[in-house]
Amino acid sequence: MAEKNDWWTCPTESEDGRMIMVTGRRDVDSFRNNPRFNIRIEITWRYSESATAGMPDLPTSEMMQEATDALNAELAKDPVAVMTGIFTGAGERNWIFYTLSTHIFNKKLNAALAELPALPLEIYAENDPDWLEYDEMCDLAEISPGE
């Protein structure tokens, strides 16, 4: 049985060969088994790569961590969505969520980020009732326990 907030991290490559760090969440069964959590949301933050080999610079990385912590804290209070993955590299950070409502998710997103400065975020949503993108992420990069 996976622990609450059981995450793994693994490097992989973008299509053009640049490193991407993939962080995925294991303990998603209670969300995945609920047919209402069928909407996949991807939030993208594109950043300047400069001399960082596709990774964010330190100030950007710190602000990304603040945003991640704020999103997780807000969703812990009212779990209307679950963060399932974080992709960082090749000039962008992508947070992946599954939710039951884009409207409610939008309210939670705004509440979570209200104390932070305006962030350069792009948001995309699609129906993914079978969690195919989650499975693809795990097949692509997950390190099994003990590896």
Residue 94 lies in a domain: yes
Residue 2 lies in a domain: no
In the block, which residue shows the tokens 């792009």?
122
pLDDT the model gives residue 95:
98
Residue 19 lies in a domain: yes
pLDDT the model gives residue 1:
32
Residue 3 lies in a domain: no
Q: Domain tally for the chain?
A: 1
Contact 9, 20 (CB under 8 A): no
pLDDT the model gives residue 142:
66
CATH number for position 131: 3.30.70.100
Q: What is the pLDDT along the chain (147 residues), one digit of tens a residue?
A: 334 778 999 998 888 888 899 999 999 999 999 999 999 999 999 998 765 678 999 999 999 999 999 999 999 999 999 999 999 999 999 999 999 999 999 999 999 999 999 999 999 999 999 999 999 998 887 655 444
pLDDT the model gives residue 140:
80
Residue 147 lies in a domain: no
pLDDT the model gives residue 48:
84
Residue 123 lies in a domain: yes
Residue 48 lies in a domain: yes
pLDDT the model gives residue 144:
56
| Domain of 133, in residue numbers | 8-141
SS3 content of the chain, % helix, strand, coil (to 5): 30, 30, 35
Who contacts 110 (Cβ-Cβ below 8 Å, separation ≥6)? none
pLDDT the model gives residue 83:
97
Distance, in Å, from the CA atom of 141 to the CA atom of 40, rounded to the nearest integer, reads 19
pLDDT the model gives residue 143:
57
